[in-house]
Structure 1
Amino acid sequence: MDIGTLRGLGTLMVLIATLGVLLWAFSAKRKAAFDEAANLPFADDDRNDSRSSHP
């Protein structure tokens, strides 16, 4: 096995890993979890607003 074959196999493994991550990230099953995670930074804003309105 020469260096060209090893590089080709390495490239193939990286391609497969990239496609796996893309499929996972854009999977319809994960949409609800990603939407919830996207709103996490705003979760504390609701609690802070209610505390600041009551002295």
Structure 2
Amino acid sequence: MDIGTLRGLGTLLIFVAFTGLLFWAYNSKRKASFDEAAQLPFADEEPLSSEQNKDTSRSNNQ
């Protein structure tokens, strides 16, 4: 077995692991928890009320 064969087998192993990971992530029953985790960066932002929106637009126009 030469170095080229070993590198080829290593590449094949990494490819199989990568496709297995993709399959697990997209077909997992944990999709709801993945979606919830994807929204975490936006969790501490509060939506602006219509009054706050009006105050913000007035201060930007002045």
Q: State the TM bucket, normalised to the shorter chain.
A: 0.5 to 0.7
Q: 1:4 offset after TM fit, Å?
A: 2.0
Question: For the residues of structure 1 that align with 2:8 and 2:42, how far apart are their CA atoms?
Answer: 45
Identity fraction in percent: 63
Q: Which runs of 5+ in 1 are unaligned?
A: none
Larger Rg: 2
**Structure 2: tracts of 5 or more residues without a match:** 53-62
Q: TM-score, normalised by structure 1?
A: 0.67
Aligned residue pairs total: 49
Q: Which runs of 4+ in 1 moved over 2 A?
A: none
Higher relative contact order (CA 8 A, sep 6+): 1
More helix by share: 1
CA RMSD in angstroms, aligned pairs only: 2.0
